[in-house]
Structure 1
Amino acid sequence: MAGTERQLTLRFLAEPADVNFGGKVHGGAVMKWIDLAGYGCAAGWSGKYCITAYAGGIRFVKPIHVGNIVEVSAKIIYTGRTSMHLAIDVRAGDPKVAERALTTHCVLVMVAVDDEGQPTEVPDWKPTSATDIELRESAIRLMEMRKKIGVEMQAHLDLQPQV
């Protein structure tokens, strides 16, 4: 039921096909996992098909090794009219022990769309704990920063020579 499941965690083993030339899990594979968890969480919250509108602040903190158990956790931290901001944490470690280390963190913005691909409303999420209130406030601050970055990026694009 829409508006009831705020978070989701995917768990799986990092496979040999995920390895880069340096022998660690490829950043692109991690980004795919982030997108999958974000979609699952956003679709579960909204009850709608969702698309990724933004992925930002991706921090690769620690490498993931083949054979590690990987946990990709997605959590709604802010809802707009049609969008959902999610905090994503990727943790990994030896599957034989319970400890998982943070390897990657980022924020995603997902937008719910209707059958014609147009943005559609999502259930409102209201924070209740002090931690959730701070996460929501952080999402709002990041949204304001993205607007400023968008203006700067447009100026950069406007200065590019036309081919």
Structure 2
Amino acid sequence: MNFGGKVHGGALMKWIDAAAYACAAGWSGRYCVTVSVGNIRFRQPVLVGHLVELEARIAATGRTSMHIHVTVRAGDPRAHALHRTTDCLIVFVAVDENGAPVPVPAFEPTTPEERRLAHYANDLRRAHRELEAIKPRQA
């Protein structure tokens, strides 16, 4: 809890990482490591005592990587309604026993929502590559 009676953002990030790991490991059938966490958006605070639900799903795959989109919903359990509070895109890589990356099954989006998320993930992948190319060596 933070000083305002809300769940600390770091605690939410830990839950997001755990949910995304479960999704990545389930998809790949392998142990997975977090490569990057980006585009996390805290839309609304999560209040202490509220019910919290995390939904993690594959947004896109590369040869060894999986882009996992996590949505957090929360609300007063007495109100019987949860509202979206946080979104995040996390990239995992499946690895073997020696920590070397291994191929993952390809994800083919079929619904409009899946195609939208795949487009979003692929746009971010391109943007990260472009940013990496101009990043100062000391950064």
Same fold (TM over 0.5): yes
Q: Is residue 108 of structure 2 the alignment partner of residue 126 of structure 1?
A: yes
3-state SS of the aligned residue for 2:45?
coil
The separation in 1 between residues aligned to 2:131 and 2:55, in whole angstroms, is 27
Aligned partners of 1:93, 1:130: CA distance in 2, in Å? 27
Kindly, what percent of the aligned residue pairs are identical? Answer: 49
**SS of equivalent to 2:124:** helix
Matched with 2:50 is: 68
Instruction: Write the deviation string for residues 106-158 of structure 1: whole angstroms up to 9, x where unpaired.
Output: 10001101000111111111111122122211211110011122234x31x53
Q: What corresponds to 1:46 in structure 2?
A: 28
Q: Which residue of 2 aligns with 1:31?
A: 13
State TM-score, norm by structure 1. Answer: 0.81
* RMSD, aligned α-carbons: 1.3
Q: Deviations over 1:1-50 (max 9, x none)?
A: xxxxxxxxxxxxxxxxxx01222110100000000000001001110001
Count how many residue pairs are aligned between Structure 1 and Structure 2. Answer: 139
Unaligned runs of 5+ in 1: 1-18
**Unaligned stretches of 5+ residues in structure 2:** none
